Amino acid sequence: MDPERYDRTRPPYPGALVERIIATSPGTDFLDVGTGTGIAARQFQAAGCTVLGVEPDARLASFARRTGVKVEVAPFEAWDPAGREFDAVVAGHAWHFVDPVAGAARAARVLRPGGRLAAFWHLGQPPREVAEAFAAAWQRVVPGSPVNFRARPGQADRNAAAFTAKSAGGIREAGGFSHPEQWRYDWERTCTRDEWLEELPASGALTPLPPDKLAEVLAGTGAAIDALGGSVTMTYATVAVTAVRIGAAWRGRRRGQG
């Protein structure tokens, strides 16, 4: 992955989501899990939060630091909080890389009473014509690939359901949290042909392709965008799974009432 391209082309998270997480957290000390290049971390910082990132990839962590994000390098499940506590643990497009139960248990350990865990993802879908052109170019370049990029109606919703079910299940199994909630924000983003073709190589599926094969995939996709007038409107759903830390604080209140 090219960190600069990824950071430049990936869309930010909806401002309404950022504001809602902050408004429903007890304070502004945030831990960003899988901070990557720092896209989400910088949004929370701009909204007035103090953010610490945890990122297993040293190269991505280095990039995020250059953009003003404080980052520690470690897988979240093995990261040592050293007694620190936070008002929110967030993860933008990263929680699927974390063990859902161990990750939730680690989050519960570092959250203050009432602290919020929020894992969220972008799920985007281009117009059918662009998706089909990309899939056809992919099959020409990587014949027999098990990865199927053909347009499938409702796939974004199915992906959202898979992400949220796995994450919510991990939160419930780990314990110490309120019942997980699901938040969703639907929006659109229009890109020029050049903007879209610059973003595509940041996709994990395309990163292993040699330059000539990558150029072939992009050319086939670009032709479809040209046929649509030179721009493409992506439909996005940003989905979040979130819960509030109750655990020890709740048990303590129960004991006090007894």
In order of 126, 152, 159, 230, 257, the CA distances from 155 in angstroms are: 11, 6, 6, 25, 49
Give the DSSP H/E element, type plus range, for residue 71.
Answer: strand 70-73
**d(Cα 198, Cα 166) in Å, to the nearest integer?**
31
In order of 14, 64, 125, 133, the CA distances from 153 in angstroms are: 24, 35, 9, 16
Residues in the chain: 258
Question: Would you say 237 and 123 are in contact if contact means Cβ atoms under 8 Å apart?
Answer: yes
Q: What is the pLDDT of residue 243?
A: 98
**d(Cα 142, Cα 134) in Å, to the nearest integer?**
12
Residue 45's identity, in one-letter code, is: Q
Residues 6+ apart with CB under 8 A from 77: 98, 99, 102, 103, 106
Q: Can you read off the two tokens belonging to residue 231?
A: 């721009």
- Maximum CA extent, the chain: 71
Question: Would you say 232 and 193 are in contact if contact means Cβ atoms under 8 Å apart?
Answer: yes
In angstroms and rounded to an integer, the radius of gyration of the C-alpha atoms of the chain is 20
Q: What is the pLDDT of residue 156?
A: 66
Question: Would you say 98 and 36 are in contact if contact means Cβ atoms under 8 Å apart?
Answer: no
**d(Cα 195, Cα 34) in Å, to the nearest integer?**
25
**d(Cα 51, Cα 240) in Å, to the nearest integer?**
19
| Average pLDDT per block of 10 residues along the chain, 258 residues long | 86 97 97 97 98 97 98 96 97 95 96 97 86 85 71 67 90 95 94 87 75 88 89 91 77 30
**CA-based nearest residue to 199, from 99, 115, 100, 122:** 122
The owner of tokens 């439909």 is: 235
In order of their start, the domains of the chain are 3-124+153-188+234-257 (3.40.50.150)
Residue 15's identity, in one-letter code, is: G
The owner of tokens 């504001």 is: 19
